[in-house]
């Protein structure tokens, strides 16, 4: 027997998405150049690194955790990339004697370093049983402190052209940043839906004790999830640095909240066990469209922050409501 379409439930579950779509329509009808190829390209370029961050955070959320160190990790990754990829003839190089490093090698080094921070997060959470909120909040501060020490709180620029091309280049009509996002999205879809790792992750999020009794290596799975998250922050930071053309200790500030909100809007439950890659993408798009709409409408940036904060609160409240309704 077919279930009847519950309009009220649909509206409740997708209230934020529907409101943002309506806002986009109103913005497009009342302002110039909103529905243009240029604006669409800007949206894609902004969404790409944030989608990668959200993919990293999603595994933490699905296992009833979180990662508040994501934003600072992205900032530190951007700074590490900057230090390795400044032009050799740039007068204010952070490491004057450093030889020329290929862009791809610098990206891999950055991802591996950030993966180490993820490993520490996963170990602390899974073995010491420190709540993810506390563990990653502490790591957020640690990463910021290390970043400040390494960079001496100096902003960095003077990147070589091959690094800047990562953000500005394209293959035909497809920007490199979009290609990075598509590859990561496809990888996470496969990981979550077609591998043992994905099954274990959802099982842990659904009921950790039951998963352990069923033979799931909970400790190992959680450590791998946080390592992967750290590596995604490393990749995102590498891309954010190229896109911005510079990096500092302020880079990535607040990105963790955007990622968590985007995941929640897209159906990744903070109560664990639920989440799809397609939903994550929708959530990131919704958040970015909100910001672009408010910019086109000439809203003061201060009000934009207020709107983003309200979206985060409402998204989590709706998620909690769905969770309680199921119980």
Does residue 1 surpass a pLDDT of 60? no
So what's the pLDDT on residue 308?
Answer: 84
- Residue written as tokens 């450093």? 98
So what's the pLDDT on residue 325?
Answer: 65
Q: What is the mean pLDDT of residues 272-298?
A: 92
So what's the pLDDT on residue 323?
Answer: 65
So what's the pLDDT on residue 19?
Answer: 87
So what's the pLDDT on residue 152?
Answer: 92
Q: What is the mean pLDDT of residues 8-19?
A: 78
State how far the Cα of 95 lies from the Cα of 88, in Å rounded to an integer. 10
Q: Are 79 and 145 in contact (CB under 8 A)?
A: no
So what's the pLDDT on residue 270?
Answer: 78
Which residue from 113, 110, 92, 112 is spatially nearest to 101, judged by alpha carbons? 110
Q: What is the mean pLDDT of residues 180-204?
A: 96
State how far the Cα of 50 lies from the Cα of 71, in Å rounded to an integer. 10
Please give the angle made by the CA atoms of 319, 313 and 23, to the nearest 5 degrees: 95
127-175: pLDDT as tens digits: 999 999 999 999 999 999 999 999 999 999 999 999 999 999 999 889 9
Give me the percent of the chain exceeding a pLDDT of 90. Answer: 73
Does residue 286 surpass a pLDDT of 70? yes
CA end-to-end distance (rounded Å), the chain: 23
Rounded alpha-carbon distances, angstroms, from residue 13 to 63, 195, 265 = 21, 29, 9
Mean of all residue pLDDT scores within the chain: 92
Does residue 95 surpass a pLDDT of 80? yes
pLDDT confidence tier of residue 211, bands split at 50, 70 and 90: very high
So what's the pLDDT on residue 2?
Answer: 56
Q: Is the pTM of this model over 0.85?
A: yes
Does residue 62 surpass a pLDDT of 80? yes
So what's the pLDDT on residue 101?
Answer: 94
Residue 156: count other Cβ atoms within 10 Å of its Cβ. 22
Q: Which helix (H) or strand (E) holds 175?
A: strand 174-175
So what's the pLDDT on residue 212?
Answer: 93
Lowest-confidence region among 59-63, 236-240, 261-265: 261-265
Domains identified in the chain and CATH numbers? 36-326 (1.10.3470)
Give me the percent of the chain exceeding a pLDDT of 70. Answer: 97
So what's the pLDDT on residue 327?
Answer: 56
């Amino acid at each position: 027997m077919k279930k009847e379409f519950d309009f009220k439930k649909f509206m409740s579950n997708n209230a934020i998405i529907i409101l943002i779509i309506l806002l986009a329509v109103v913005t497009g009808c009342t302002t110039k150049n909103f529905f243009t190829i240029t604006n669409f390209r800007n949206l894609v370029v902004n969404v790409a690194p944030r989608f990668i961050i959200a993919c990293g955070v999603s595994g933490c959320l699905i296992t009833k955790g979180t990662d508040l160190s994501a934003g600072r990790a992205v900032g530190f990754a951007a700074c590490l990339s900057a230090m390795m990829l400044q032009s050799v003839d740039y007068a204010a190089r952070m490491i004057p004697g450093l030889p020329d490093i290929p862009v791809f090698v610098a990206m891999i080094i950055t991802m591996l370093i950030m993966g180490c921070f993820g490993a520490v997060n996963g170990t602390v959470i899974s073995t010491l049983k420190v709540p993810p909120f506390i563990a990653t909040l502490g790591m957020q501060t640690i990463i910021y402190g290390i970043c400040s020490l390494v960079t001496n709180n100096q902003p960095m620029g003077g990147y070589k052209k091959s690094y800047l091309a990562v953000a500005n280049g394209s293959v035909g009509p497809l920007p490199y940043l979009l290609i990075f996002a598509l590859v990561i999205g496809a990888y996470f879809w496969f990981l979550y839906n077609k591998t043992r790792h994905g099954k274990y992750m959802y099982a842990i999020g659904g009921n950790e004790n039951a998963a352990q009794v069923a033979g799931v290596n909970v400790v190992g799975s959680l450590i791998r999830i946080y390592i992967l998250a750290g590596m995604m922050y490393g990749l995102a930071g590498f891309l954010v640095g190229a896109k911005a053309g510079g990096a500092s200790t302020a880079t990535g500030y607040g990105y963790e909240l955007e990622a968590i909100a985007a995941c929640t809007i897209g159906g990744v439950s903070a109560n664990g066990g639920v989440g799809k890659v397609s939903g994550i993408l929708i959530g990131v798009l919704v958040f970015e469209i909100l910001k672009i709409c408010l910019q086109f409408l000439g809203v003061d940036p201060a009000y934009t922050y207020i709107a983003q904060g309200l979206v985060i609160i409402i998204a989590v409240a709706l998620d909690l409501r769905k969770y309680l309704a199921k119980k």
